[in-house]
Amino acid sequence: MLLAVLSGFIWACLAPWIHRVAGPRSHWLLAALPAALFAFFLTLLPAAGRGEPAAALLEWVPSLGVTLSFRADGLALLFALLISGIGVLVTLYSGGYLHGHPMLGRWYLFLFAFMASMLGVVLSDNVYLLFVFWELTSVTSYLLIGFNHDEEKSRAAALQALLVTGAGGLALLAGLVLLARAGGSAEISVLAGRGDLLRGHGLYPAILALVLLGAFTKSAQFPFHFWLPNAMAAPTPASAYLHSSTMVKAGVYLLARMHPALGGTPSWQFWVTAAGAATMLLGAWMAFHQTILKRLLAYSTVSALGVITLLLGLGGAAAVTAAMAFLFAHALYKAALFLVAGAVDHGTGERDVERLGGLRRAMPLTAAGAAVAGLSMAGLPPLFGFTAKELLYETLLHAPGIAPGNANLLIGLLLPAAVLSAAFFLVVALSVAFKPFYGAPAHTPHHPHEAPPAMWLGPALLGVCSILFGLFPGFIGHVLLGHAADAALGAPAHAHLALWHGLTPALGLSVLTLAAGLLLYRFRTPLRAASAPLLRAARFGPERGYDAALAGMVRFAHAQTRALQNGYLRNYLLVIFLTLLALVVPVLVMHTQMLNEMFLRKAAESLLNLRHYELGLAVLMVVSIAAVVHSKTRLAAVAALGVVGYGVALIFILFGAPDLAMTQFVIETLTVILLVLTFYHLPAFAVYAPRAVLLRDLAVAVAVGVTMAVLVLIAADSGQYPNIAHYFEENSYTLGHGRNVVNVILVDFRGLDTLGEITVLAVAAVGAWSLLSMRPRRGDGQ
C-alpha cells in the first residue's frame, strides 16, 4: 500500500518526461497509473467487507510515535476509488482540454502529486502521517489553482486557498497532537476504539475545536466557504478533480474518520450540524444567483459539502449511511458537470449560461452526459442522486429533533432548509445541464463543435455509473457504501439502499422539491433581482474579513520592514544587542546576590593567581582596542584589531590550547590580509554620526560587553556540566585520526555543523556572484 501511494509521486516526477517523449497523446499513457491503482483498490474491497482491511506499517520516527502506517477499510477505499477512478478521467480530459499548452508536462506533475497526496490522506492510519499528506494537498492544490500564474486572479485565488486551508491545517496539527496524547496512541484505528476515553477526557473540548477548525476550512464550511468558488480560477480539470473527489472532500473525510473517536456528543452534534446546515443553505442560495457555469457548480458544491457535514453531525447509522451515499452521488454528477462545463467553454468560448442555448445538435454527446448528470443532481429517479436525496429526507424525518416533545429548534429547521436547498440544486441542474443545450441557438464567440473523445468520455462513463447505481443501489450499498458507513460509524450501520421505498413522506418531499425547483427556475430572473440587495450585503461577510486581514498584514509587514530591514547594518546590530539586553539584564538583576558572591570569590581567586605576563597581555589588548576606536585610518584600525586577535591566541596558549591558538593565528592573519586588501581602495574615515549617537553606541557596546562577560563567568562557575575537553583529547587521535584537536572537532565530531556552515557560505557566495554578474541592459540608461 505504501508503494501505491508513493507511485503517484514517482509518476508525477516522470510525467513531464513521458509527455515530452510520448507527445500529444501522452494522456492515454499517463492515465495507466490511476487506472492500475483503481484496479488495485478494487481487489481490497472483499477484505474490507470481511472486517479485515489491508494494512501496512513501516517505522519512521518511532520515538515520536510517527509511523508510515496505512489502512484500507471501507471508508478509505470509498475515497481511494473515487480519487483514482475520477483521476483516470481527469487525466484523459486534461490531454484534450490543455492540448498544445506549453506547460502541459508540468500540469501532469502537479496533478499526480495532488492525487498521491489525497491517497495518502485517506489511507493514512497515523495522525501525524495524515497531517503530512493533508498539508501536501494544500501545497499541490495551490500549484493547480495557480497554474495560470501569469494571471493575477489565479495567483490571488491560489494564495487565498493556501492561507485559509493552511491556517486550518495548523489548528488541525495541534488538535491531532492533543488527540494522540489524550488517547495514548497516534494510530487512528486505535483511537477509534477509545472513543469513550477521548470523549470523557479534559482535553476533549480543545481537541474537538481544533479538529473541526481544520475540517471546516478544508471543506469550505461557513464561514470559510468563500475560498472555494474563487478557486474556480484553476483550469477546469483541476476544478472537476478538486470538487468531486479530492481536496474539498478531505474535510468531510476527516469528520467521518474522527466520528468514532470524537462524535456523538452534544458539542459535536451542535457545531457540526450547525455549520453544515448554514453552509448547505448559504451555498445553495448563492448558487441560485450565479450565471457563470463554473461558479454555479462551485457554490452548489459548497452546499453539498454542507449536506454531508450536516449528516455527519447528526450521527447515527441512518445519517452516516446517507452521508456516504450523498458523497458518492455528488462525486459522480459533479465531476461530470464540471467536465461538461469545460467542454462547453472549450467548444463555444462562452461561460455564461444565459448566453448559451441550442448546443444539443452541435454537441450531442456532451449534451447526453450533461442531461444524465443534471437529472442525478436534481434528484430525479432512477438516477443515484435520487436515492441519496431520499436517504437525506428519511434521515431528517426521523431525526431526534423531529420527534414530538423534542424542542430542539436547530434540528426542527433542518428539514425545510434541506428541501429549499434541494430545490436550488434543481435550478442549478437545469441551468448547467439543460439551458445551454436546448431552446433557440445562441450566438457564441466560437462556432460550437463537439469536444474530442477524451473530453466527453468522462461525462459519459460517469453518467452510466449514475444510471446503473441508481437502478441497482443495493449493489453499490453492499460492496462499497455499507462498508464505508461501518468504518465511519465505528459499528455496523446495516446500510440498505433501494430505488423504491413506496409512497413515503420522503417521496412526497421529493415531489415538493421538484415543484419548488421548477417554480424557482421559471421565475429565477425576478427572484434574483428581488434578492440582489441581500446578495450585495453578503459580500461584506467573511471574505471581506479575509481581505481586510490580508491587507492589514501586508501593511504591518511594510511598516516593520521599513523599521527593521532598513539596509543599515549598524541598525540591525543595535536591534540585536538591545533585544539581548532586554532579555538577559532583568534576569541578572533578579540574581544580584548570587552574582555578588560569585564576583567576590572570583576576584579573590583572580588576584591570587594573576601572573605578570597575563596582566601585561591584558593591558596590551586594552590599548589595542583603544587604538581601534580612535584610529584615523582603516589600515591602522585593522592592524590594531589584529593585535587583539593575536592576544587572544596567546591566551589560548597560556591556558593549554595550542591547537586552538594555531587556528586563531591563521584566521587572524588571513582576516587582516583580507581586510587590508578590501579596504585598500576605500576613502579615508568619515564621521557621519552625531555625538549623541556615538555616545549611545558606546553605552550599548559597554553594556553588551559587560553582560557577555558576566554570562561567561556564570557559565564557567556553574559546574553544571562536566568538562568535555578531556573527551576530545582522548579521542581525537584514536577516533578522528588527527593530531590537531580543533581540526578533528570541526571535520569529525561536529562535521555536519561544519557542512551546514560551508553550505550557507556557498549559497551566499552563489547569490553574491549572481548579483555581481547582473548588468544593466543596453539602453536602460543605468
| Beta-carbon count within 10 A of 158 CB | 24
Cα separation of 111 and 141, whole Å? Answer: 9
Could you report the per-residue pLDDT of 578-628, keeping only the tens digit for each? 999 999 999 999 988 888 888 888 777 777 777 888 888 989 999 998 898
Expressed in angstroms, the distance from the first to the final Cα of the chain is 59
Cα separation of 116 and 256, whole Å? Answer: 20
What is the reported pLDDT for 409?
56
| Beta-carbon count within 10 A of 133 CB | 19
Half-sphere exposure (Cβ direction) of 729: Cα atoms closer than 13 Å: 8
At residue 200, what are phi and psi to the nearest 5 degrees? -95, 0
Cα separation of 629 and 255, whole Å? Answer: 67
CB-based contact 312:255 (threshold 8 Å)? yes
What is the reported pLDDT for 407?
43
84's CB contacts (< 8 A; 6+ apart) are: 34, 35, 37, 38, 41, 115, 119
Cα separation of 93 and 241, whole Å? Answer: 11
What is the reported pLDDT for 392?
92
Cα separation of 144 and 151, whole Å? Answer: 13
* pTM check: above 0.85: no
Cα separation of 700 and 694, whole Å? Answer: 10
Dihedral through CA 569, CA 571, CA 575, CA 578, nearest 10?
110
Look at the alpha carbons of 678, 680, 683, 685 in this order and tell me if their dihedral is positive or negative.
positive
Secondary structure (DSSP) of 225-283: TTHHHHGGGS-HHHHHHHHHTSHHHHHHHHHHHHHHHH-SSHHHHHHHHHHHHHHHHHH
Task: Identify each DSSP E strand in 383-528 by its residue range.
Answer: none
CB-based contact 748:738 (threshold 8 Å)? yes
Bridge partners, 651 (sequence order): none
Classify burial at 762, counting beta carbons within 10 Å of its beta carbon; exposed 0-12, middle 13-18, buried 19 or more. exposed
375: Cα separation from own chain's centroid: 35
What's the residue count for the chain?
Answer: 782
Cα distances (Å, whole numbers) of residue 160 to 71, 210, 213, 417, 483: 32, 20, 16, 29, 36
| Beta-carbon count within 10 A of 398 CB | 14
- Residue with grid cell 413522506, as numbered in its chain: 505
Look at the alpha carbons of 468, 473, 476, 479 in this order and tell me if their dihedral is positive or negative.
negative
DSSP 400: G
Cα separation of 23 and 26, whole Å? Answer: 6
Long-range contacts of the stretch 674-681 (C-beta < 8 A, 24+): 675/634, 675/638, 675/641, 676/635, 676/638, 679/634, 679/635, 679/638
Cα separation of 300 and 623, whole Å? Answer: 79
At residue 57, what are phi and psi to the nearest 5 degrees? -145, 135
368: Cα separation from own chain's centroid: 37
At residue 58, what are phi and psi to the nearest 5 degrees? -140, 130
What is the reported pLDDT for 117?
95
Buried b (16+ CB within 10 A) or exposed e, 404-429: eeeebeebeebbebbbbbbbbbbbbb
Angle at the Cα of 340 (from 334 to 343), degrees rounded to 5? 145
| Beta-carbon count within 10 A of 711 CB | 13
Task: Identify each DSSP E strand in 33-157 by its residue range.
Answer: 54-61, 66-72
At residue 346, what are phi and psi to the nearest 5 degrees? -65, -35
Cα distances (Å, whole numbers) of residue 573 to 68, 566, 568, 697, 700: 45, 12, 9, 10, 10
Helix, strand, or coil (residue 101): coil
User: Can you say whether residue 23 is alpha, beta or left, with left for phi > 0 and alpha for psi between -120 and 50 degrees?
Assistant: left
Name the nearest CA neighbour of 313 among 420, 215, 450, 176. 215
Cis peptide bond prior to 34, omega within 30° of 0: no
Q: At what angle do helices 364-378 and 384-397 cross, to 10 degrees?
A: 10
Classify burial at 188, counting beta carbons within 10 Å of its beta carbon; exposed 0-12, middle 13-18, buried 19 or more. buried
Q: At what angle do helices 74-97 and 236-244 cross, to 10 degrees?
A: 170
Cα separation of 383 and 468, whole Å? Answer: 8
Look at the alpha carbons of 274, 276, 279, 284 in this order and tell me if their dihedral is positive or negative.
negative
Low-confidence ranges of the chain (pLDDT < 50): 402-407, 781-782
Name the nearest CA neighbour of 189 among 75, 81, 63, 317. 75
Cα separation of 126 and 66, whole Å? Answer: 7
Cis peptide bond prior to 459, omega within 30° of 0: no
Name the nearest CA neighbour of 87 among 11, 153, 157. 11
Cα separation of 120 and 116, whole Å? Answer: 6
At residue 509, what are phi and psi to the nearest 5 degrees? -65, -35
Cα separation of 672 and 84, whole Å? Answer: 65
Name the nearest CA neighbour of 334 among 254, 228, 410. 228
Cα separation of 748 and 737, whole Å? Answer: 10
Could you report the per-residue pLDDT of 314-364, keeping only the tens digit for each? 888 999 999 999 999 999 999 999 999 999 998 898 999 999 999 998 999
Cα separation of 446 and 533, whole Å? Answer: 35
What is the reported pLDDT for 685?
67
Name the nearest CA neighbour of 44 among 86, 8, 80. 80
CB-based contact 167:209 (threshold 8 Å)? no
CB-based contact 45:75 (threshold 8 Å)? no
Helix, strand, or coil (residue 69): strand
Name the nearest CA neighbour of 38 among 73, 89, 105. 89
User: Can you say whether residue 379 is alpha, beta or left, with left for phi > 0 and alpha for psi between -120 and 50 degrees?
Assistant: left
305's CB contacts (< 8 A; 6+ apart) are: 219, 220, 221, 248, 249, 251, 252, 279, 283
CB-based contact 423:523 (threshold 8 Å)? no
What is the reported pLDDT for 579?
94
- Residue with grid cell 548579483, as numbered in its chain: 771
Cα separation of 437 and 459, whole Å? Answer: 15
Dihedral through CA 322, CA 376, CA 251, CA 477, nearest 10?
40
